[in-house]
Chains A and B, each alone.
Chain A
């Protein structure tokens, strides 16, 4: 079982990454239960991919590191996505990553369990989870777990945060134990291909008369 954390934190160390790590630690342990070995966790740091994400918009294709990150997300059984709040929403880098991913593979997150989380300097932005992240991941056809986790500066060290982490990570783990994410369409383009006769007949056109392959000498 593979768990991937997508973190859009910018500073090093970052509280966004810290929140992602704490969620992943609990989810990995519970998802693997009763096995004592936790599920594998991979962290995708968007900060390291910022330039390739920008180039993806001008180029149309992902650079090697971004392509690897897309692969990791697509193959993940579950995702933990964490963004800092910028201007009352997710950060532009966070959105850009998922914009680029969905152009690359529009079903990359389809049916995939996703835990949404965000960090901010103040608790006043905590609804960002429900007015920004939840609609985004609903649009991307992900299965978003009911509890999201928002951590303001004042929450670190307070007792409530741990409880919310336990609850949200537990919900993700339950989904991971119960469902296995479907494979991505990108892996098998040929298998989703509509045979050409079907395309022709959908337009009322008959397939070519007789079987007359071009002679290739």
Chain B
């Protein structure tokens, strides 16, 4: 409680997300062991809390060279060693994981972490994962739709009868444990290029995370606008009230030339963008910023120009074989020099009706408010209705 008072709920959450790749350091040729990489991810998460960031999110992968196959195991361990950090995923595979297991794993994590958890659903980007988990990639979108429809019910209905296309039917099934305080973990739907997923997020009134790190601004703008428009269409609020998250990736040194010099060998051979356009072209066309903290601040502030006011900003910091020591130095700069300025600037001119980033506390308060509204409606309906219906109010 005292923690919450010391650190008011941020209107925009700032944090980091990790892919969990094991990549050789191109400057030394050394590849970390899986154990080293896993421990490094934990160290990075603990550092995120130490420097005042709000969120740590881990990817989910089931093939080398990636290590995080079991996100809730990792996040549970981090939860035990942190007090304030919100633990999330980037992403949890809604296509190949059993929605029943997702419901259980994240409800369990929610209890252990005292509500400091949410999750981001995605379809993954590795085709063979589908057959490895007994699914058909051609059904990727339908799996995302059906599995989430079930997950959504499992967290909201104590007893579920269900039948679908891809999974064994359920009869009188109760996912345990029930969500903490009866409030399901907040769900972000992550998508890079599928308007169908923006539509899904809008339909449920969930968050939409656009991982824009490899994409030009006009693409991000289109996707976020689509989600905002559809969010309003489904009656969850105005387009400006939709819950948006964005990615970003940065490499900083106090002196921008130092940042470019140090990062270029990593950029040039990085698995995702190496051997392609130059560092300069890439930074011009995508959110990647390599430079001083001030440059990172300026570029990140410009995201709002095409995405509107938003609720979550996650940076990719540990990738391309960067050594742990360097990543921790990056987090010092991010937490001490960049995020405090971003928090201040993001709060400026933010309309009052743009919602704050959702947390367990805010969702619980909203649920309680809705419950008491419903109770009042029931009372007034009972009072004005035909005689003999007073029992409605008691219910």
Across-interface contacts of A55 in B (CB, < 8 A): 276-277, 281
A159: interface (CB < 8 Å): no
Q: Which of A190, A204, A213 is within 8 Å of B205, CB to CB? A: A213
A158: interface (CB < 8 Å): no
- Docked pose: A196 CA to B146 CA in angstroms: 11
**A63-B277, A214-B205, A217-B369 given as contacts; is B222 within 8 A of A203 (CB)?**
no
A98: interface (CB < 8 Å): no
Identify 22 residue pairs between A and B in the complex whose beta-carbon atoms are under 8 Å apart, listed by A's number.
A54-B276, A58-B273, A58-B276, A58-B277, A59-B276, A61-B214, A64-B285, A189-B226, A194-B199, A196-B202, A197-B203, A200-B149, A203-B146, A205-B145, A213-B205, A213-B235, A213-B237, A215-B367, A216-B205, A216-B243, A216-B355, A217-B365
- Docked pose: A71 CA to B290 CA in angstroms: 30
Count of residues in B whose CB is under 8 Å from the partner chain: 46
Interface string of A50-70 (1 = CB under 8 A from B): 000011001111011000000
B128: interface (CB < 8 Å): no
Q: Is the CB of A205 within 8 A of B237?
A: no
- Docked pose: A63 CA to B216 CA in angstroms: 9
A124: interface (CB < 8 Å): no
Instruction: Tally A-B pairs: CB < 8 A.
Output: 97
A139: interface (CB < 8 Å): no
User: Using a CB-CB cutoff of 8 Å, which residues 200-258 of chain B contact chain A?
Assistant: 200, 202-206, 214-216, 219, 222, 226, 229-230, 234-237, 241, 243
B381: interface (CB < 8 Å): no
Chain A contact patch, size range? 20 to 34
Across-interface contacts of B275 in A (CB, < 8 A): 58
Q: Is the CB of B236 within 8 A of A61?
A: no
Across-interface contacts of A211 in B (CB, < 8 A): 235
- Docked pose: A195 CA to B195 CA in angstroms: 11
Q: Which residue of A lies closest to B195 (CB)?
A: A189
User: Taking beta carbons and an 8 Å cutoff, which residues of B are in contact with A?
Assistant: 141-142, 145-146, 149, 152, 163-165, 195-196, 199-200, 202-206, 214-216, 219, 222, 226, 229-230, 234-237, 241, 243, 273, 275-277, 281-282, 285, 355, 362, 365-367, 369-370
User: Taking beta carbons and an 8 Å cutoff, which residues of A are in contact with B?
Assistant: 54-55, 58-61, 63-64, 189-190, 193-197, 199-200, 202-205, 208, 211, 213-217
Q: Which residue of A lies closest to B373 (CB)?
A: A215
Minimum-distance CB pairs A-B, first 4: A58-B276, A196-B203, A215-B366, A214-B205
10 further contact pairs, Cβ within 8 A, besides A189-B195, A193-B230: A55-B276, A59-B276, A193-B196, A199-B142, A199-B196, A208-B152, A208-B203, A214-B236, A217-B355, A217-B366
